[in-house]
Structure 1
Amino acid sequence: MTADQLRTLIAAGLSCEHLHVEGDGRHWFATIVAAGFEGRRPIQRHQMVYATLGEKIRNDEVHALSMKTLTPAEWAAQGRPQH
């Protein structure tokens, strides 16, 4: 699994305004900004991301994924640029 492959999987399942993935092939960190996160608790947001990975997460192709999941408003509040 590469960062590009992981980014493609997440982007295919979520409409992201911003998506950054980095890691070493086993341990990953993703910053994901999506309007679909509005009104959802962090655990629900993470479940949405895990759902996009499907079998890849269950088969341990994605071993460890840490995430920062934000709404566009939360992203903007951190001083990040709007896309």
Structure 2
Amino acid sequence: MFPAEEIKRLIEAGLACEYVNIQGDDGVHFTGIVVSSVFEGMLRVRQHQTVYATLGRLMGNDIHALQLQTFTPAKWAEARVELGL
């Protein structure tokens, strides 16, 4: 079982982030929101690949699934209102 807090720590250590929230209570399936200015100009699939790269070999092994929502800071400002955060 892998803790959600450790995934958050690894993402923050490997990527300049404005906001990271990782949830998951079964230790293998997780959901998350990652906000980074690094995502500017990237397609969504590339944004997700960038986050997965911070987790390296853990993806598909210790971490079975990580469903992501990724945002640039500008898009996050809009999405926060829609999500009620």
Calculate the TM-score normalised by the size of structure 1.
0.89
Q: Compute the RMSD of aligned alpha carbons.
A: 1.1
What corresponds to 2:6 in structure 1?
5
| Separation in structure 1 between the aligned mates of residue 74 and residue 80 of structure 2, nearest angstrom | 10
Residue from 34, 37, 41 that aligns with 2:36: 34
Q: Which runs of 4+ in 1 moved over 2 A?
A: none
What corresponds to 1:55 in structure 2?
57
Q: Which ranges of structure 1 fall in alignment gaps of 5 or more residues?
A: none
Q: Which ranges of structure 2 fall in alignment gaps of 5 or more residues?
A: none
What corresponds to 1:75 in structure 2?
76
- Identity level (%): 42
SS in 2 for 1:20: strand
Calculate the TM-score normalised by the size of structure 2.
0.87
- 2:58 is aligned with what amino acid? K
